[in-house]
Each structure stands twice: as structure tokens, then as C-alpha cells.
Structure 1
Amino acid sequence: MLEKINLEHILFLDIETVPEEESFLNLPEEKQLLWEEKTRYQCREEFTAAEFYERAGIWAEFGKIICISVGHFKLKESKRSFRTTTFHGNEKQLLQDFSALLNSHFNKPEHMLCAHNGKEFDFPYIARRMIINDIPIPQKLHLSGKKPWEVPHLDTLELWKFGDYKHFTSLKLLTNILEIPSPKNDINGSEVRKCYYNNEIPRIITYCEKDVIAIAQIVLKFRRESLLSAEEIISV
């Protein structure tokens, strides 16, 4: 099945998220109470709500998207390239720009979105933040009423699970065992928040785009095709 998909029809993507405020104390009092209620089970007695707030970026209700990196293949005769770009800056604007890309260039029935753990994280997170920012959800993220086989999403984690719903494999581990160059050679996910609030946005963009490239490489590996070389990767 995967081998039959035209690579040019897939938009590969990854998002980076952070807590909506730099500090728990910056939240309005009502939001602080809601955070305490939301995370009471996770915190237990090990962390205070304020200490646990550094992880708030993983919840769309308490976090925000700071960049969306995308990549797509261009196939021309025997030449192959993979182009990446990143939407970043103001969250509402980057979501509008990403939505415009989907609506104008990836809106056909054959087009698909692909991410690692995208079905559990990236896709629903983007949709939720679009609702919060009063942005119409693009058709490719609108799943209401669709049957599972009608959902235009690929997930490299799901592909690796082979139906085993108990299994989780990180992108870093999967690239390692498949002998794909690791995307994690500068920062990791736990450092994104610190980099963002230190205004180190270029590092985050590079990190996010490398993840997109790694996801594309995994798909190539599943298809038993040669991996992308450095010369085939173009950042625009």
C-alpha cells in the first residue's frame, strides 16, 4: 500500500510547541487553577503545579505552536529533491499560512499529511489551536464523519506499530534502528521551551526541519528506496 502512494502527494510535517506563558505565575489565577486540576494526577506528590508547568506545551489548552515545518518531494524524471520550509512567529499567522498551504496545494483527494505520532499529537493539536485562534479547519484536518480508511493521514509511528497499540517508539530510536542519520544533534524536545524564551528561534527551526527530513527518510526506508542525500535536501 505505502509503495503505491505517489511521494509528491505527501506533505511531511512536524510542530514545536511551548507553554503559552514563560512562567506559571504569568497565568491568570483561573488558568492556574485549571492547570492544577488538569495535571493533579500527573504531578502526584513529586511536583508542584508551578514546577510541572514547564511541560504545559504538550497540551493544546495550555500551550501554543511556535513553528510548523513541512517538507515535500519533487520528482522529475530521474532527479529527486526534498524541499523544506517552516512557518514561525505569531501563532495565529503561522496557522493561517499553514492552512493556506493545505487549501491551495494539498487539497486534492490524493493528498496526504504525514508525521511521527501525528494522529495522537500534531494533527489534533493543530486543529485545536486553529479553533482557539478562530481559524477555519482545512479539509485535510477535518475528520468528522470520516471512516478510518478515509482519513488522509500517515503516521510513521503507526506504521512501525503494525497494529500493536501498546507500543511507542520515539523518532530518535526509530531513526537509529533503521540506520537513518539522527535529527537530534543539537537540541532535543525538552530544550525547545528554554530556547524559545531565550529567543533562539533559528535553532528550533533547524531542529524541527530535521525531524521532517527524518520522517521522510523513514517512509523511504519502508518503501525500500534509497535515503535522501544532503544534495537532495533543499531548505526554502
Structure 2
Amino acid sequence: MWLAAAILSFLLVLTTATPCEEARMRCAYRSGCGAALNNYMMLCNDVLAQPSSVCPKECEHALIALTSTEEGKELMNCQCEDEYCVDAKQKIYVCRAQVLKGAADATASCRLSQLICLADAQCATALDYYNQNCRSVYRGRKCSKKCLNSIEILRKQEKAAALTACRCDGNEDYDCPRMQSNLARLCFHKHLKNHTKSHERDYEERHRKTQHQEVSSSNHSIISLTLIALCLLLSSYT
């Protein structure tokens, strides 16, 4: 399974390492890895901007999603070639334990499951079709044949496996409990036992707090750090 492979790759010592710029370009030009790289640059910007003792959940998720791609794993193990690497290594190392633990349980968060899917080109396309064709489900109206077909296509994607069992934690960019409840009721004629009004209120409160958090803007030096920092995270794992 790909998650197990991702974790094992953290522990492998590579006899030859690809230069980071080459690895970055390979990732950037692949639609799935490129999307994961962009998410990493945005969501881990605060970690790389200054030393911290805490790895934000969004940065952890971005790193796990990136290492779910072959190009991303290569980028993690690339050979750094300039002085920014040492500084970036010290800062991103704080995420090590969380990344290892989180990769082993992708279903713990629907946001993480979504990022993993978006890091794969085919899964991202299937997820886009699902979002387009299942809007009526989100509104609580009906589950059309197009929506059911989109769900079946999405379920066939390997990187979408975690989406079917993920748990809402308030970090999603949509009303996750509502969507899960509507899907169960309208598309599969089931009712989620744990979907209560109290759960909805808790989710909405967490979601509002998340919405108020702003991602810090990146300057040129910070962007440089983000492009090379990935090679460092796993260099300490080996």
C-alpha cells in the first residue's frame, strides 16, 4: 500500500541524491506533485519563516500529501546545494514526528485525505467531477445519476481510498459533516448515527476559527527556503 511505502521511504538511505533544483523541477511540472508543492509552500510558510516548536496541522498535512507522490519523495531526499538548507532543515524538522504518525492514518482527517487525492492527477480530476456533479447533494436536494457515477469513479482511484472513511475535524474548506450526512442519506439511503446537531455546531465553531486564520505572505527569501526545505525533512530520518 502506498502509505506503507511512503513511511518506509523515510527510512531508506539513498546512495545517490538528486540535486534539489532538478527534483523541484520534476515535481513542479507534474500536475499532481506541482499542486502538492504549491500547497506545501503556502501551508508551511510560517514554519519556515521563523523557528518554532510546533508544526501546524496544515503544514503536516501538506507534507504528507507531498510525500504521497513519487516526485515528492524524490524531492524530500534531494541533495541541497546552498546555505539556506541548513536553516530550513532546523525549522522543518519540527514536523518530523507528526508527518510519520499522520501518514500512517490518513483517514484521521478529511482535509488530509483531500490533499492526498489532489496530489494525484487522476484522483484530482475525479474529485473535480464529483464536486461538480454532486452539488445538489451538498444542498440536501437529491443524488443524481451523474453524482452516483462520479462517486463510483472517485472510489476507483487508489489515492481516494482514505476519503471514504475520513473524519471531519473542522479543517476542511467545506461543511464536511453536512456533506457526509447528505451523501449517506441521499445517495446510500443511510443515516449517520454520529451526525447530530451538537456535532454540527462544534464543527461550525472550529471551521469559523479556521477561516479567520490568514496565511502569511511570502517574500523572495522565504520562497527560496520553501523550494529547498523539502530535501531536508527526511535527510534526518535516514
Q: Which has the higher contact order (CA 8 A, sep 6+)?
A: 2
Structure 1 or 2: more helix by fraction: 2
Q: Which is strand-richer, 1 or 2?
A: 1
- TM-score higher than 0.5: no
TM-score (ref. length: structure 2): 0.29
Q: TM-score, normalised by structure 1?
A: 0.29
